[in-house]
């Protein structure tokens, strides 16, 4: 068949599955790796964008969720549970309902994007808003999974990391080798860990000749790894990565050391600027948390840390349509007001600045 079969079937030989595994898939993975000439011009590097918003629920979480829900079903689970800033809950809800099992999702009250909230509801999850932040939600989810018959599908579950490592495989297949530098947003640091594992396995298998330097970025108001201590009240407009105590913190430090990597912090204004550059100059619309990869590249290039001509991959993790409100603000922060015209060709032409 010519249809992409989802990451488990496409990479069955590189995941812990057998012919008997009850694969739960929505066709995730196989996302585009898009050249970004506008970013080449700005940085002097050779920049490619891995657009993970093209997954079935609009984020990279689907790669991990196909594995996590498949394994949950294999183990006989009837309900999966997760804490989430929005994307994990959307993905868990979709995969669980496709598998015919339940999903319970815990999200910080009032702190997740509307599109993601609506996905959890649309996919029939038991949605619970917790009067706390993401870190509180994760504590609850872990305790519930330890004491009740619910199966945890946050990225502390290794099945999630296994599924997500396939994104690195796809990058290596398209480019013919690993890149020199890989930029990625960091919340719990599960995805940073997953890419490092994928690249490591490709190198060991002889599919590539090097490990990329892994550069991870947190929002300045929630940058525990950069600061070296948990952040009690993490704050950023990039709600997906508003996390004060990352679950994969230790693994991320190990991955950084292994790859000669880097962790940096970016303020919200720079995140929104980068989101606009990516949408208006490259044609790729991502949510604010995802744009931090672009902001990180621009910051590192400015600091002289991106050699000219180096090959760079940016993972952009979630689709802009999940959290569209930020794009409706102009560069000056004011709401964009589209021009209103009557049904009159000459007037539309005048507004567009067209002369016949």
> Which residues make Cβ contacts (< 8 Å) with residue 320, sequence separation at least 6?
53, 275, 279, 285, 286, 287, 327
Out of 289, 295, 297, 327, the only residue in the binding site for ligand F0G (CB under 6 A) is 289
* Strand-pair category, 46-51 with 311-316: parallel
Size of the site for ligand F0G (CB under 6 A): 23
Of the chain, the end-to-end C-alpha distance in Å amounts to: 51
Tell me which residues in 249-288 interact with ligand F0G (CB under 6 A). Answer: 287
Figure out which of the listed residues 25, 85, 236, 259 binds ligand F0G, where binding follows CB under 6 A: 85
Residue of 6, 29, 56, 86 that binds ligand F0G (CB under 6 A): 86
Closest to ligand F0G by CB, 245 vs 290, is 290
Could you say which DSSP state residue 278 is in?
A: I
Kindly state whether residue 87 participates in binding ligand F0G, applying the rule CB under 6 A: yes
Residue 55 as a binder of ligand F0G (CB under 6 A): the answer is no
**Pairwise CA distance, residues 205 & 241, whole Å:** 33
Contact call for residue 187 and ligand F0G (CB under 6 A): yes
Contact between 57 and ligand F0G by CB under 6 A: the answer reads no
Question: Which residues fall within 8 angstroms of residue 298, CB to CB, at 6 or more apart?
Answer: 42, 43, 270, 274, 277
25, 43, 155, 245: residue in contact with ligand F0G (rule CB under 6 A): 155
- Binding segment for ligand F0G among 189-197, 199-207, 272-280, 301-309 (CB under 6 A)? 189-197
- Candidate list 186, 215, 255, 271; residue touching ligand F0G; CB under 6 A: 186
Q: Using the rule CB under 6 A, which residue among 67, 72, 211, 240 binds ligand F0G?
A: 240
Phi, psi of 137 (to 5 degrees): -60, -40
Cα gap 29→54, rounded to integer Å:
8
Name the one range near ligand F0G by CB under 6 A: 83-91, 171-179, 227-235, 341-349: 83-91
Helix (H, G, I), strand (E, B) or coil at 44: coil
To the nearest whole angstrom, how small is the minimum distance from the Cβ of residue 244 to ligand F0G?
Answer: 12
Q: Rounded to 5 degrees, what are φ and ψ at 323?
A: -145, 65
318 scored as a contact of ligand F0G (CB under 6 A): yes
185 binding ligand F0G? (CB under 6 A): yes
Q: Which of 241, 272, 295, 301 binds ligand F0G (CB under 6 A)?
A: 241
Give the DSSP per-residue string, 111-136. -S-HHHHHHHHHTT-EEEEESS-HHH
Q: Closest by alpha carbon to 105, among 65, 73, 67? A: 65
Closer Cβ to ligand F0G, 72 or 105, answer by number: 105
* The one among 25, 191, 208, 259 contacting ligand F0G by CB under 6 A: 191
Question: In this chain, which of 189, 272, 274, 294 binds ligand F0G, going by CB under 6 A?
Answer: 189
Residue number, 85 or 275, with CB nearest to ligand F0G: 85
Percentage helix, strand, coil for the chain under 3-state DSSP, each rounded to 5:
45, 15, 35
Q: Is residue 84 close enough to count as binding ligand F0G by CB under 6 A? A: yes
Residue 287 C-beta: closest distance to ligand F0G, Å? 6
Closer residue to ligand F0G, CB minimum distance, 70 or 188: 188
Contact region with ligand F0G (CB under 6 A), list: 121-129, 172-180, 181-189, 305-313: 181-189
Hey, what's the torsion of the CAs at 94, 61, 22, 126, to 10 degrees? -40
Question: Interhelix angle for 288-302 vs 268-277, to 10°?
Answer: 100
Comparing C-alpha atoms, which of 108, 112, 68, 63 is closest to residue 87? 112
**Residue 290 binding ligand F0G, by CB under 6 A:** yes
Rounded Cα gap, residues 313 and 317, in angstroms: 12
Which lies closer to ligand F0G via its Cβ, residue 46 or residue 212? Answer: 212
**Which residues make up the interface to ligand F0G (CB under 6 A)?**
59, 61, 84-88, 155, 185-192, 240-241, 287, 289-290, 317-318
């Amino acid at each position: 068949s010519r249809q992409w079969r989802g990451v488990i079937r496409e990479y069955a030989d590189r995941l812990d599955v057998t012919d008997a595994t009850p694969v739960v898939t929505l066709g995730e993975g196989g996302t585009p790796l898009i050249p970004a000439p506008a970013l080449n011009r700005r940085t002097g590097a050779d920049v490619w964008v891995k657009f993970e918003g093209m997954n079935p629920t609009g984020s990279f979480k689907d790669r991990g969720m196909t594995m996590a829900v498949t394994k949950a079903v294999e183990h006989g689970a009837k309900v999966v549970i997760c804490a989430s800033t929005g994307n994990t809950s959307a993905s868990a809800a979709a995969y669980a309902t496709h598998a015919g099992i339940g999903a319970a999702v815990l999200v910080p009250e009032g702190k997740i994007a509307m599109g993601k909230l609506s996905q959890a509801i649309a996919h029939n999850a038991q949605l619970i808003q917790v009067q706390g932040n993401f870190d509180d939600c994760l504590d609850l989810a872990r305790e519930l999974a330890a004491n009740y018959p619910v199966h945890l599908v946050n990225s502390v579950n290794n099945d999630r990391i296994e599924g997500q490592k396939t994104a690195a495989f796809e990058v290596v297949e398209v480019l013919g080798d690993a890149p020199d530098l890989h930029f990625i947003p960091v919340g719990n640091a599960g995805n940073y860990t997953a890419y490092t594992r994928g690249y490591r396995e490709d190198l060991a298998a002889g599919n590539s000749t090097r490990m990329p330097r892994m550069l991870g970025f947190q929002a300045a108001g929630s940058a525990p790894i950069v600061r070296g201590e948990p952040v009690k009240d993490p704050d950023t407009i990039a709600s997906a990565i508003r996390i004060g105590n990352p679950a994969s913190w230790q693994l991320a430090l190990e991955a950084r050391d292994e790859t000669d990597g880097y962790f940096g912090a970016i303020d919200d204004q720079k995140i929104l600027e980068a989101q606009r550059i990516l949408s208006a100059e490259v044609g790729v619309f991502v949510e604010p948390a995802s744009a931090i990869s672009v902001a990180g590249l621009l910051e590192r290039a400015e600091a002289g840390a991106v050699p000219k001509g180096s090959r760079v991959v940016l993972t952009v993790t979630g689709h802009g349509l999940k959290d569209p409100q930020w794009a409706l603000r102009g560069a000056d922060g004011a709401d964009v007001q589209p021009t209103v015209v009557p049904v009159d060709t000459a007037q539309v032409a005048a507004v567009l600045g067209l002369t016949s």
